[in-house]
Structure 1
Amino acid sequence: MRRVESTLPPGERVVYEGHLSMWAMSPWLVLGIVLMVWGVLVGSLGDAVFSALLLFGGGLLMFGFAIALLLTTQLALTRKRLIATFGVFRPRRVMFELGEVRRVHVRQGPVGGIFDYGTLVIGRGGAPALRIAGIEKPFMFRERLARLRDALLAQMRMAA
């Protein structure tokens, strides 16, 4: 969570974190491992060294990319804002004030329902929606976001 905490103003802290689900990345991880094993088998069986290197290298890239996504995708809530950081090669950071968030949708397929992961679609005003796929426990994240947003709006009404 260091990438998120480094962007926070003094005195603000993370209240809730959302993480990328290992189950969401499992097809890429398994395919990477299968390609690496296949590459080793092809290389040890005969003269197809170039094919073996391509298979092993492709599997290694898939596996590494999935692990990098797991490590770099972060979603955090503070008492005032929602912060999302994602991206391996070009990291992106998106910050929303909680008062700006208008809608939060969860999209979850059958496998996501079984393993409790899904896609969060967070919209604010007229801006395009932020879509983050593969978030672990998306309904809990949506509920925490709604609770924090309602508390902030009530606090703003009391101050006015």
Structure 2
Amino acid sequence: MSYISNSLSNGEQVKYEGKISPWSLLPLIILGFLTIAFFGLGLLFWIAAAIRYMTTELAITDKRVIAKFGFISRNTIELNMAKIESIQVNQGILGRIFDFGSLTIAGGGIPSAPIPGISNPLAFRRAFNDAQEAAAQKAA
């Protein structure tokens, strides 16, 4: 089972699931090609890229934003929908071309929480805005 499905509270529903972009892992993949001749060192870079891709989970629920990174050591970000004030999208030139970027989530009393290498970050932000508006209407 995934971390996200295990951490949902009663009645909480996932509204959007994000993915990490394979293009954001390009530096690790290139390092793998460049160092494969050195006793197979490149395989370690490829394994690191695969683990990062497979173990990153991102979701927007009707109550919060959840991000989980890591395989052996786990880092999570879980922010309540009501506490989030803004989501900033950062995309470089390659990010614009290949549609990936980083999100920085900020809010009252919350230190900014970066989520790097997300695929289609504008769709993630749009889904967050939709979920936040729906939560506000439900509360009113």
| Residue 106 of structure 1: aligned partner | 89
2:113 counterpart of 1:91: no
Give, in whole Å, the separation in 2 of the partners of 1:126 and 1:13.
25
Aligned residues: 140
The CA deviation string for residues 70-115 of structure 1, in whole angstroms up to 9 with x for no partner, is 0111110111111111123310222111111111000000000000
Give, in whole Å, the separation in 1 of the partners of 2:10 and 2:133.
23
Task: Determine what percentage of the aligned residue pairs are the same residue.
Answer: 34
Unaligned runs of 5+ in 1: 40-52
Structure showing greater radius of gyration is: 1
The CA deviation string for residues 121-153 of structure 1, in whole angstroms up to 9 with x for no partner, is 001212211101110000010011011101111
Among 113, 117, 140, the alignment partner of 2:123 is 140
Q: TM-score of the superposition, structure 2-length normalised?
A: 0.93
Could you say which structure has the higher helix fraction? 1
Moved more, 9-18 or 21-30: 9-18
Q: TM-score of the superposition, structure 1-length normalised?
A: 0.82
The CA deviation string for residues 31-68 of structure 1, in whole angstroms up to 9 with x for no partner, is 213311x23xxxxxxxxxxxxx2xx1x31221111111
**Preserved CA contact (<8 Å) 2:15 2:127:** no
CA RMSD of aligned residues (A): 1.4
**Preserved CA contact (<8 Å) 2:19 2:56:** yes
Give, in whole Å, the separation in 2 of the partners of 1:150 and 1:11.
18
2:22 counterpart of 1:22: yes
Could you say which structure has the higher strand fraction? 2
